[in-house]
Amino acid sequence: MTPAQFYQGRRVMITGGLGFIGSNLAQRLVQLGADVLLVDSLIPDYGGNLFNIAGIESQVRVNVADVRQASTMNYLVRDREVIFNLAGQVSHIDSMQDPHTDLDINCRSQLTLLEACRHHNPGVKVVYASTRQIYGRPDVLPVTERHLVRPTDVNGINKAAGEYYHLVYNNVFGVRACALRLTNVYGPRQLLRHNRQGFIGWFIRLVLENREIEVFGDGSQVRDFVYVDDAVEAFLAAGASDAVNGEAFNVGGDEHIAHRDLVALLVELAGQGRYRFVEWPTEKKAIDIGSFYADSTLFRTRTGWAPAVPLREGFARTLDYYRAHMVHYVDPRSI
C-alpha cells in the first residue's frame, strides 16, 4: 500500500496544524481523503495562521488548544490513528532568552501528548518533528544519524529530549513512534512576521519588499534545504510505515548551498532586493553551528522517500506564493 492509499479515510491529528509544515501537511492529507483534526494553540509569533488552511476550512476540524493541557489531549487523541506531532517552540534565540518556556513547550507538552496516547490510545502511530539542531556543530559532513547529539542551545537540548521521549514510549510502552530530524525546511505558509524562527523566511520577505539582506560573516556557511512539499511526503511516509518505529532519521535536501550563493539566487529570482555582509551578532555567533548538511540515506532506504523539488524551483514557487498572499503573513502597515 502506498502512503497515498494508506491515508484514504485515515483518522489523523496534527499538532501545530495551523503552522508552516503542519498546514502544508493538512493540505496534502485533505487531497488524499484523510479525516484531519488540527490542534494549534495560535500563540502569537509561533507561526499558527488560519489563512494557512484557506481552501480546506470545511474539510478539516480545528481545535484551538494548548498541547500542554492534559485533559484536552486525553480527549483529542482517543480516536486518531496517526498523530503528526509538530507543535513546538522553534526559535533558537527565544530559547536562550526564555529557557523555561522552551522547556515547557518542547518537553512537558511532549510528555503530555505521549501520556495521553499511552493511556487513551496506545495503538496510535506518532511522528515527531525533530531538528538537525540537536547535533550542534558537526564533526564531519554530511552528518549521519551516528553523529553525536551535542546541541549548542536550549532549543536543541529540549528538542533532543522531546525526540527521546517518543523513542522511549515506543520502546517501553509500545506507542509506535519515530522522529524526523529536519534540516532547513522552506516554502509557502512559513512565518514571515519576524526573523526569530530561522533566516529563510526572513530573507524571502526582505527580497519581496526590495530591502537589504544582511548576511553574517562572509556567507561561506553551507546548508541543505528541503522544500515543504518534500518534507510533507517524508512525514506521510513515516506515518504509513512501521519500518521506522523507535528510531530517529535525518530528512535533508539533495542540494547544499552557501548562504552567499543562496541570497544571490533569491535576488535573481525575485528580480529585486540586495544583500551585504556584516559582522556576526554576538548572541547568534555563540550558538551558530557553521556549515551543516545531512545524509538522509537511512530514511530513504527504509521508506523509499526522496526529495523531488530542486532548490531553484522550490524558491521560485515560494516567491510566487508570497507575492500573491503577502498581506496574510505580515502586518500590512509594515510593507
Q: How confident is the model over 148-161, as a mean pLDDT?
A: 90
Look at residue 73 and tell me if it is in a domain: yes
Q: The whole model's pTM is what?
A: 0.95
Say which residue the cell 494548548 belongs to.
Answer: 66
- Measured CA to CA, the distance from residue 205 to residue 323 in angstroms comes to 10
The reported pLDDT for the residue numbered 335 is 45
The reported pLDDT for the residue numbered 299 is 98
Look at residue 288 and tell me if it is in a domain: no
Q: Is-contact 207 273, C-beta < 8 A?
A: yes
Can you read off the three cell numbers belonging to residue 230? 518534500
Look at residue 318 and tell me if it is in a domain: no
State yes or no: pLDDT of 46 exceeds 70: no
What percent of the chain has a predicted confidence (pLDDT) above 70?
94
Total domains in the chain come to 1
Note the pLDDT tens digit of each residue in 304-329: 999 999 999 999 999 999 999 999 99
222-227/256-258 β-pairing = antiparallel
Note the pLDDT tens digit of each residue in 110-133: 999 999 999 999 999 999 999 998
Look at residue 140 and tell me if it is in a domain: yes
Look at residue 235 and tell me if it is in a domain: yes
Say which residue the cell 502506498 belongs to.
Answer: 2
Identify which of 101, 102, 103, 124 has the alpha carbon closest to the alpha carbon of residue 113. Answer: 124
pLDDT band at 2 (very low <50, low <70, confident <90, very high): confident
pLDDT band at 18 (very low <50, low <70, confident <90, very high): very high
The enclosing domain of 127 has a CATH number of 3.40.50.720
**Segments forming the whole domain that contains residue 61:** 3-189+226-253+293-309
Look at residue 305 and tell me if it is in a domain: yes
Note the pLDDT tens digit of each residue in 19-37: 999 999 999 999 999 999 9
Look at residue 28 and tell me if it is in a domain: yes
The reported pLDDT for the residue numbered 81 is 98
What percent of the chain has a predicted confidence (pLDDT) above 90?
76
Look at residue 200 and tell me if it is in a domain: no
The reported pLDDT for the residue numbered 168 is 98
State yes or no: pLDDT of 106 exceeds 90: no
Q: How confident is the model over 259-268, as a mean pLDDT?
A: 96
